[in-house]
Amino acid sequence: MSYVLLGTSECHLCDQASAIVTEGAEGLAVTVYIEDITDIEGGVDRYGLRIPVLRNEITGEELNWPFTAADVRALFTASDKE
């Protein structure tokens, strides 16, 4: 399953979220990449107040900050069952 962590380069919460996502993904076969919302047309308008956001690239399901490693793992394992 493929996920994207949406944020910006100047977002300290995004750095924290990246570490939490790594922890939540431990031992699971998931791919997570980071995308800057300033590189997405309309990204700042859509995500600017919510970042960091973890999004399932297949289903579009989003996990808004704040989230824990357990929240991330729940998203990853729930997506596995779909």
Nearest CA to 72 among 44, 30, 10, 42?
A: 30
> φ, ψ for residue 10 (rounded to 5)?
-100, 20
Asked, for residue 81, whether it belongs to a domain, the answer is no
How many other CB atoms are there within 10 angstroms of residue 48's CB atom?
11
> φ, ψ for residue 54 (rounded to 5)?
-100, 125
pLDDT band at 81 (very low <50, low <70, confident <90, very high): low
Boundaries of domain holding 56: 2-68
Asked, for residue 26, whether it belongs to a domain, the answer is yes
Q: Find the CATH number of the domain harbouring 30.
A: 3.40.30.10
Asked, for residue 34, whether it belongs to a domain, the answer is yes
pTM over 0.85: yes
pLDDT tens digits for range 69-78: 999 999 999 9
pLDDT tens digits for range 16-70: 999 999 999 999 999 999 999 999 999 999 999 999 999 999 999 999 999 999 9
Model pLDDT, residue 23: 98
Counting the structural domains of the chain, the total is 1
